[in-house]
Structure 1
Amino acid sequence: MFRAITGDIEVRVTPVYRPEESRPDERRWFWAYTVEIHNGGPRSVQLLSRRWLITDALGTVREVSGAGVVGQQPMIGPDEWFRYTSGCPLPTSSGFMQGEYRMVDDAGVAFEVAIPTFALDLPDVVRILN
């Protein structure tokens, strides 16, 4: 699990490689990721939009942005959680994602919330850091 906190909002992301949706012979690897957003503040907030930067193992960056998440612009009350699952294909066997959500609180104050950078790695691959 990967985690980031911006003000009163906590974002947790858990990615999972999906071999049944991947086609390595066609240069397509697929990950599902579950996002959990916790509002630890005293005001309700609404998630308006998201912006992702998706980087593959060759360093190619793709930007994806739009309204809401999975077709929703959820309201998240104080001490409530919102959870959703989505997916990401890559043309390489590893990469990473990062981004932010645009939110507004019930007083009309807009703000951005960081989505933690998270790895898209194949399971059981030994990584060596220099």
Structure 2
Amino acid sequence: MDDDRKTYQRRYRQGYKGQAKRVNLTLSLAEHRAFARAANKEQKKLASYIKELAIAGLDAQAHIPEALQAELKTLRFAVLNIANNVNQIAHRSNTLRELSQSEENNLLGYLKQLDDVVRRYTAGRILSHPDDHDH
């Protein structure tokens, strides 16, 4: 049985080498602590966390922590609800002619301002230090 297991392990490792590559990375103590702290906050292993960051950087995408993703999902839901309400008001005003064109434009302007605020907030949260994502 031992020989069968060893043969199996050897074949498995040879096959795995062709499918995946291992990379060693050297970090200073401060860098290691910072990455470990950030990985722990996302309840991920250090290597998995660094791999996610590297892939996101390669794809030119921002890595968004899961807690922040949940926050942004809630914000997006609120903005979509507001947009739906604005659309209903615009539809009603077109039907009943209760709002002037300038009032409609003001309403849409407020929605644009809200969108700008959410975008700035999002950019600020993503670019802020990982320790800032706690609140």
Q: TM-score by structure 1 length? A: 0.20
Larger Rg: 2
Which one has the bigger helix percentage? 2
TM-score, structure 2 normalization: 0.19
